[in-house]
């Protein structure tokens, strides 16, 4: 999964580019825009309240692809966070200062997950449901882990990333009893820790019976490995433009080829093998329908491979207005993320009210959401795309303002947004 370890280059041999690397901001901005589509679908689409859009027995082609394309978001986001950390070190930030920054920013992200993100996602402050342990949570904890890993040689960090990503599917058979709601047994402390580390999808009373509930969507183990892999890959980004593109494209192609070879074998790398379907096209959908929770080895190869291939756009993809907008989004990722949840949710509330439907369920949180949704809740997929476009337009103007604020004000505090 990780590239061969790239030794820390001496200052005379290689140095990080002085300016920002456009391909990083472009990729980050692209996956963030696609991410908003997924979160808008969560609130707006009727089927989102009833079944998994990648369930081949219930989905449609358009719905499957709408969900599948968003799989690229979290892996690229976490991987590039690791790369950005390496580039700070390559630009001269002392190792101890980098470690402190990763530790404090990581803890800050965890706090944001269960405060700002939690409120913006669910539009209520009923803290019997503490929140969802998802991408900002996993970015924060992974940064805390990386704050310790940065003291190791780069080869050791690469080895940690490789081991966590490539081997964690060997733990898929380790399952603990999940909580099934009020009145059922609460998993013990060891079981709750294991759910946080590797077993997804569970609502967990984190402090025992009667305690606040956390919905664990992003278990930690493979994602910490993805960030470590991104850090180890950072050495490739210190190379000059053409050589950097050449190495990253080769690496992306290698990941993609390895995904196809391993997936064809159905031997290892994903707990759900592909199978022949009624038509060749639906068989292809089964082939690419890999496991995100937790992200399997094949899921990460499938998403990070093509993402790295986009390094080819370095210097090419930002000439048009759309490219410049994506780069701008990629330069304010946390600000963008914090805003997109309430905007996507507000779009659902607005569309529902315009249609004269009950909006009450849109102000509830798990486990009541979506169980309390009325039978007519939600809209067809076309409405999802209209709401998504509206959210992106609002984000463009607000993020452009904030990007200009960051450019004009070099305050260290703004690094945390």
For 196-293, strand residue ranges (E) read 202-205, 213-216
Prior bond to 11 cis, omega within 30? no
Q: Which of 151, 123, 116 is nearest to 137 (CA)?
A: 116
pLDDT of residue 18: 57
Cα–chain center distance at 47: 22
pLDDT at 409 over 70: yes
DSSP state of 14: -
CA gap 11, 262 in Å, rounded: 39
Q: Which of 27-36, 322-331, 353-362, 392-401 has the lowest mean pLDDT?
A: 322-331
CA dihedral 362, 368, 369, 372 (to 10 degrees): -70
Render pLDDT for 385-404 as a digit per residue (tens, 0 to 9).
Answer: 999 999 999 999 999 999 99
Per-residue pLDDT at 203: 85
Give the gyration radius of the chain's Cα atoms.
21
The pLDDT assigned to 122 comes to 96
Q: What digits encode the pLDDT tens for the residues 266-281? A: 999 999 999 999 999 9
Average pLDDT of the chain is 90
- Contact yes or no for 56/289 (Cβ under 8 A): yes
**pTM for this predicted structure:** 0.91
Say whether pLDDT at 94 is over 80.
yes
Dist CA 401 CA 267 (whole Å): 50
CB of 93 closer than 8 Å to CB of 105: no
Task: State the average pLDDT over residues 145-172.
Answer: 96
pLDDT value of position 4: 41
pLDDT confidence of 17, banded at 50, 70, 90?
Answer: low
Where residue 201 falls (left for φ over 0; alpha for ψ -120 to 50; beta otherwise) is left
Q: Kindly state the tokens that stand for 213.
A: 């509930």
Domain limits, the chain: 22-416
CA dist list (Å): 307 to 24, 63, 73, 220, 250 = 10, 22, 9, 22, 12
Residue whose C-alpha is closest to residue 122's, from 356, 292, 367, 293:
367
pLDDT of residue 21: 78
Please report which confidence band the pLDDT of residue 5 belongs to, taking 50, 70 and 90 as the band edges: very low
Query: What's residue 319's pLDDT?
Result: 61
């Amino acid at each position: 999964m990780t590239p061969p370890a790239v030794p820390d280059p001496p200052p005379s041999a290689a140095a990080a580019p002085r300016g920002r690397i456009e391909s990083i901001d472009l990729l980050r901005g692209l996956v963030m825009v696609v991410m908003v589509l997924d979160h808008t679908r969560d609130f707006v689409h009727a089927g989102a309240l009833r079944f998994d859009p990648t369930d081949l027995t219930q989905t449609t082609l358009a719905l499957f692809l709408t969900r599948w394309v968003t799989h690229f978001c979290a892996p690229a986001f976490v991987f590039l966070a690791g790369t950005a950390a390496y580039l700070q070190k390559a630009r001269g930030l002392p190792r101890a200062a980098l470690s402190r920054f990763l530790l404090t920013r990581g803890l800050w992200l965890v706090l944001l997950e269960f405060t700002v993100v939690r409120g913006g996602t669910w539009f209520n402050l009923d803290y019997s449901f503490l929140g969802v342990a998802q991408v900002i949570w996993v970015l924060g904890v992974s940064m805390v882990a990386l704050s310790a890993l940065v003291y190791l040689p780069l080869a050791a960090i690469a080895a940690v990333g490789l081991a966590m990503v490539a081997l964690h599917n060997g733990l898929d058979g380790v399952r603990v009893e999940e909580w099934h709601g009020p009145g059922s047994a609460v998993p013990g402390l060891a079981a709750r820790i294991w759910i946080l580390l590797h077993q997804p999808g569970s609502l967990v009373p984190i402090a025992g019976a009667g305690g606040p509930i956390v919905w664990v969507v992003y278990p930690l183990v493979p994602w910490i490995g993805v960030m470590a892999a991104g850090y180890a890959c950072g050495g490739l980004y210190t190379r000059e433009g053409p050589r950097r593109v050449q190495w990253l494209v080769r690496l992306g192609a290698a990941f993609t080829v390895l995904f196809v070879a391993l997936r064809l074998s159905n031997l290892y790398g994903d707990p759900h093998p592909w199978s022949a379907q009624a038509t060749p096209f639906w068989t292809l959908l089964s082939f690419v329908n890999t496991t995100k929770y937790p992200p399997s080895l094949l899921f990460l190869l499938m998403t990070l491979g093509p993402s790295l291939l986009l390094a080819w756009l370095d210097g090419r993809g930002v000439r048009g207005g759309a490219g410049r907008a994506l780069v701008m989004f990629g330069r304010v990722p946390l600000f963008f993320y914090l805003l997109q949840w309430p905007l996507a949710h507000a779009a659902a509330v607005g569309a529902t009210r315009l249609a004269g439907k009950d909006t009450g369920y849109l102000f509830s949180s798990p486990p009541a959401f979506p169980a309390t949704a009325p039978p007519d809740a939600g809209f067809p997929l076309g409405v999802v795309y209209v709401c998504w476009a509206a959210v992106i337009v609002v984000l463009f103007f607000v993020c452009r303002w904030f990007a200009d604020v960051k450019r004009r004000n070099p305050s260290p505090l703004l690094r945390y947004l």
